[in-house]
Structure formats: structure tokens, C-alpha cells
Amino acid sequence: MIASLRISLTVPCERFDLELEWQTEEPALGLFGPSGAGKTTLLEALAGLRRGARGRIEVGGRTWLDTARGLRLPPEARRVGYVPQEILLFPH
């Protein structure tokens, strides 16, 4: 359960830069939009898998990313489960 989520983020993409300012105290959330809108990019940034992400991510009062301070919590320390929708997730 998410106690709070605060995001101030810029993530460079191929065709555009994803920019997001958002915060919530809701315990659950859904993310939807058209193909190519940046949903996967945002999830990868939250999970710590997008190295080009700049800004700040705070979850439950704990800072995961703060590029102004040089803080970048590694993916394994974020305790986030992420399964991509790639068909070749398990090539065997």
C-alpha cells in the first residue's frame, strides 16, 4: 500500500520528454492512456530502471530519487515489483 506518492520528474524519450508533477495520498492508483503516452516510461522510472530520469520521487516519505542532491536509490532497494509486457520475458 502506498502511503503517499510525490513525483516531479523529467524523463527523456525518443520522440518527447515525459514531464510529470503529481502527488497523491491515495492507497491505490491506476495508470492508463493511449499507446506511446509514457505509461511504461513512468513505471520504469519509478522502479529505478530509467537512468535518464531527472527530478524527485518520494514514496511514503522516503526519497527514491533526487537528482539535485545526487540521490538515486537502486532498483533493488525500492521494493517495487515490475513485470514488463515483453513477449520474450522468458526466451526459453
CA-based end-to-end distance of the chain:
34
State the cell numbers at 5: 506518492
Q: Global pTM?
A: 0.84
Helices and strands per DSSP (H, E), number in the chain: 2, 5
Place of cell 524523463: 11
Q: Could you list the pLDDT tens digit for every one of the 92 residues in the chain?
A: 567 999 999 999 888 899 999 999 988 888 899 988 889 999 999 999 988 999 999 999 999 999 999 999 999 999 888 777 766 666 66
